[in-house]
A = this chain, B = another copy of it.
Amino acid sequence: MSKPLAPRDQVGVDFSSVDNVLALVRERGGRATSSRRILLEVLFDTDAHLSAEDLAAAVQARAPDVHLSTIYRNLDDLQRLGVIAHTHLGHGPSTYQLASLAHAHFICEECGAMIEAPDELFAGLARTAKDKLGFTIDPHHFAILGRCGACS
């Protein structure tokens, strides 16, 4: 399970449950290991933005020997499958969540407040960037920094 999943191969793929994802993992030559299953259960069970360390702690609550590096490797694998995505919320560690939950973020550089935003907000920029630069933006991967209302 090492190559990225081409978009066309994802047609009809169902990421709606841990078992479905694990079935996909096997289809791709991967193994349904217990650390993988527990990690997925944690991810399916939250809508928070968790760092690799957070996830390791949650997984280790149920399987203490799972190593942080295993978490990182599984996160990479699941990301290549398109099941999860990671986001950079300003400085600090990356955070991970189910790809289906992806959305944009505004982070206040002063107080650190995070505002989650619907993609519609980026429709205008997406169109302009496409028209003027030929660039297709991904508003999810990196947060937009600035000042929140309270701090500005």
Contact = CB atoms under 8 A, between A and B. Distances in A.
Contacts of A121: 125, 128-129, 132
A106 to B, nearest CB: 5
A137 interface: yes
Contacts of A125: 121-122, 124-125, 144
A144 B129 contact: yes
Nearest to A135: B106
Interface in A107-152: 108-109, 115, 117, 121-122, 124-125, 128-129, 132-139, 141-149, 152
Contacts of A128: 121, 124
A interface majority secondary structure = mixed
Interface of A: 88, 90, 106, 108-109, 115, 117, 121-122, 124-125, 128-129, 132-139, 141-149, 152
Given A106-B137, A122-B125, A134-B152, 14 more contacts: A106-B135, A109-B141, A121-B132, A124-B125, A125-B144, A134-B149, A135-B148, A136-B146, A136-B147, A136-B152, A138-B144, A141-B145, A142-B142, A142-B143
